[in-house]
Structure 1
Amino acid sequence: MRTNRTVLTWVLAIACAAGAVIALADIHTPARLILTPLFLLVVPGASVVGLLRDRDPLAALTVGAAASLVINVLLAEAMLLFDAWSPRAGVATIAVLGGFMWVLRSLYRGNGSVHTEQGAGSR
């Protein structure tokens, strides 16, 4: 079960990276229609879920999906408001935001190998 989850995670990560590269390099291919929206929807949600990894899995996935939609809609509205619509800039912004949240999670939670208990009510 753990191996299947790891393989699925890597396949999804590679597909998202390919979607970002295809959009940033402006490569016209039929895969662009699937991989770029996959990147735009998965990266913000996965970043938020990474910040909530000790919570209830269903709640974390729900918050991640909602955050992904909110981030993408706010980005699109801001780009339209400032008359700066650019799909490449949107993909780059999502990539930078996802990277920032990954760094934030790494600094806040550590690398995940050390777990210290704090207080009487900790799990």
Structure 2
Amino acid sequence: MIKHRRALAWLLGLACVAGAVIALFDIETPLRPLLISLFLLVVPGAAVVGLLRDRDPLAALSVGAAASLVVNVLLAQAMLQFDAWSPRAGVATIAVLGGFMYVLRVLYRGKNMQTEQGARAK
């Protein structure tokens, strides 16, 4: 079961990377709408779920899905408000925000791991 989940996570991650590359380099392919939409919906949600890993899984998934929609809608609203609509900029912004949340998660997990190791030593 764990191997299937890990394989699915890698497949989803590769599809998201492919969607970002397709959008940033303006590659024409029949899968373009699917892969770019997948990237825009999965990346912010996955980043938020990663920050909420110690919570109830259903609650974390619900918050992640809501956060993904909120981030995308707010980004689209801001781009329209400032008359700066650009699909490439939107994908790049989502990628940067997802990367920032990943760094926060790594820093947060690293801090917890150090305190757990210190507690075990005592």
Q: How big is the shift at 1:113?
A: 6.4
| Cα distance in 1 between the residues matched to 2:27 and 2:16 | 15
Which runs of 5 or more structure 1 residues have no equivalent in the other structure? 118-123
Question: 2:92 aligns to what?
Answer: 92
Identical-pair percentage? 74
Structure 1 residue runs of 4+, over 3 Å off?
111-115
Q: Hey, what's the Cα distance between the residues in 2 that align with 1:76 and 1:115?
A: 40
TM-score (normalised: structure 2): 0.91
Aligned alpha-carbon RMSD (Å): 1.7
Greater helix share, 1 or 2?
2
Which AA in structure 2 matches 1:79?
M
2:67 maps to what in 1? Answer: 67
Q: Which residue of 2 is the match for residue 37 of structure 1?
A: 37
Q: Aligned equivalents of 1:6 and 1:115: distance in 2?
A: 27
CA distance in 2, matches of 1:10, 1:111: 26
State the alpha-carbon separation in 1 of the partners of residues 19 and 87 from structure 2: 12
Aligned length: 117
TM-score, scaled to structure 1: 0.90
Q: Which residue does the alignment assign to 1:21?
A: 21
Looking at structure 2, the residues matched to 110 and 49 of structure 1 have their Cα atoms a distance apart, in angstroms, of 17
- Unaligned 5+ runs, structure 2: 118-122
